[in-house]
Amino acid sequence: MSERVAVGLVGAGPWAGMVHAPALAAGPSTRFAGVWARRPEASAELAGRHGAPSFARIEELFDACEAVAFSVPPDVQADLAARAARAGKAVLLEKPLAMDLDGARRLAGAIAEAGVASQMVFTLRYTEAARAFLARARELEPFGGYGSFVSSVLSGGPFATPWRLERGALLDLGPHIVDLLDASFGRVTGVRAQGDPLGWVGLTLEHEGGAISQASVSMAGAGELPPARVEVYGRRGHALLDWSEVGDDAFATMIEEFAGTVRGGGGHPLDAAHGLRIQEVLAAAEAQLAED
């Protein structure tokens, strides 16, 4: 068995505490190398919870690890992950890559220039349920379908963070749905958008090969909301992915594959270049909404 990959964590907010830190500490392919966050007290608390060191300077974290996971707002990630890449560290990145397309292109460019491994936290893509669904979808000769994701984040809670409250559903929920539709129907080649990111956004996506899909996202929901879903129709049948039927295997698989990418090289399908391509679709949609 190869030596565990030493992975440091940048960020100590709710998502870092719920997902990144426990998954990195659990291994077995990773060693949790420590935490750096802009709030030293939060960094120390999270690191201590998992028996890991907390660092006062991000450069000290870089020195202690060979890969870095990020759980920070997109604009912060765009800067700090580029620094990690230039320091020769593999990076595990949240979606979206950055707050805007220019930032996403700079980060993806820095990663490509440094030649380091990268991987995106498109959570659902690491589950057995989603992978079985996508394998089925590709066999259907798909011609159309849709995806929807509605949350109540705008009403408050731990994920009602400033960037989400400012930019809304398209930048937060949009990456999940667009990525899944892209994987189900083929590469997105065009997008038409209507609505309001702080209300309801509808997208029509054109795919290579001629398939058409629709996506709806909103963070303005209230009460008990239905699970997110993606549905595919094709000449050979129909397939449905319902978030409520997805297991909890995503994060362990994600960390295992990240460690394998760092150790083995060769890249990962959900790398920063893929994340950039999805963000290009979202940026085109945002531009259309701004013109309305």
* Fold agreement (5-122+249-269, 128-246): no
**pTM, rounded to two decimals:** 0.96
**Is 128-246 assigned to CATH 3.30.360.10?**
yes
Tokens encoding 67: 């890969």
Fold of 5-122+249-269: Rossmann fold (3.40.50)
Q: Which of 214, 199, 220, 201 is nearest to 288 (CA)?
A: 201
| Per-residue three-class SS string for the chain | CCCCEEEEEECCCHHHHHHHHHHHHHCCCEEEEEEECCCHHHHHHHHHHCCCCECCCHHHHHHCCCEEEECCCHHHHHHHHHHHHHCCCEEEECCCCCCCHHHHHHHHHHHHHHCCCEEECCHHHHCHHHHHHHHHHHHCCEEEEEEEEECCHHHCCCCCCHHHHHHCHHHHCHHHHHHHHHHHHCCEEEEEEEECCCCCEEEEEEECCCCEEEEEEECCCCCCCCCCEEEEEECCEEEEEEHHHCCCCHHHHHHHHHHHHHHHCCCCCCCHHHHHHHHHHHHHHHHHHHHC
What is the residue extent of each domain of the chain?
Answer: 5-122+249-269, 128-246
Distance of CA 248 to the CA centre of its chain: 16
What is the pLDDT tens value at each position of the chain, 292 positions in all? 479 999 999 999 999 999 999 999 998 999 999 999 999 999 999 999 999 999 999 999 999 999 999 999 999 999 999 999 999 999 999 999 999 999 999 999 999 999 999 999 999 999 999 999 999 999 999 999 999 999 999 999 999 999 999 999 999 999 999 999 999 999 999 999 999 999 999 999 999 999 999 999 999 999 999 999 999 999 999 999 998 877 778 999 999 999 999 998 779 999 999 999 999 999 999 999 999 7
Buried-exposed string 254-273: b where 16+ CB fall within 10 A, e elsewhere: bbbbbbbbbbeeeebebbbb
Beta bridge partners, 202, equal: 194, 216
Q: How far apart are CA 268 and CA 275, in angstroms?
A: 11
